[in-house]
Each structure stands twice: as structure tokens, then as C-alpha cells.
């Protein structure tokens, strides 16, 4: 299961309680990396959409 809680209607993330000084956890690192990838992908899509709208408005 990913970092999302299945039963939640608004898709809340599972809390990731990392103790200070704890060693890197592979599962936590993957979860953070996936979250970062998704955020970057959606930001890219949003910027492309804005660019397309600006081109259409300029025509």
C-alpha cells in the first residue's frame, strides 16, 4: 500500500513518525521519493496547461 489511507474519502496520508536520530528507512525513503515525483509531475502538468492557455489567449 502506498502512503495513502485506503478508506479515507479525502485520501489522507499515513503519518510517518520518524524519530530524531533514526537510521534511513528504505520504505520511508521510497514513500518520500514517490511523493516528490508526483508533486513535480503535477506541477509540470499545471505549468504546461497554463502555457497552452497563454498561447491560445495570444492568438
Read off the DSSP letter of residue 23: P
Structural domains in the chain (count): 1
What the block records as the C-alpha cell of 41 is 509531475
Around 14, how many Cα atoms within 13 Å sit in the side-chain half-sphere? Answer: 14
Q: Could you list the residue range(s) of the whole structural domain that residue 54 is in?
A: 25-59
Asked if pLDDT for residue 1 goes beyond 80, the answer is: no
Asked if pLDDT for residue 3 goes beyond 70, the answer is: no
14 inside domain: no
pLDDT (tens digit, 9 = 90+) per residue, 40-58?
999 999 999 999 999 988 8
pLDDT (tens digit, 9 = 90+) per residue, 8-17?
555 566 666 7
CB atoms near residue 28 (< 10 Å)? 14
44 inside domain: yes
30 inside domain: yes
19 inside domain: no
Instruction: Determine the pLDDT at residue 47.
Output: 92
Asked if pLDDT for residue 37 goes beyond 70, the answer is: yes
Nearest to 3 by CA among 34, 26, 42, 24: 34
Amino acid at each position: 500500500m502506498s502512503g495513502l489511507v485506503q478508506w479515507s474519502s479525502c485520501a489522507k496520508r499515513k503519518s510517518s513518525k520518524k524519530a530524531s536520530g533514526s537510521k534511513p528507512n528504505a520504505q520511508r525513503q521510497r514513500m518520500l521519493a514517490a511523493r516528490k515525483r508526483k508533486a513535480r509531475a503535477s506541477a509540470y502538468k499545471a505549468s504546461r496547461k497554463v502555457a497552452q492557455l497563454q498561447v491560445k489567449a495570444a492568438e
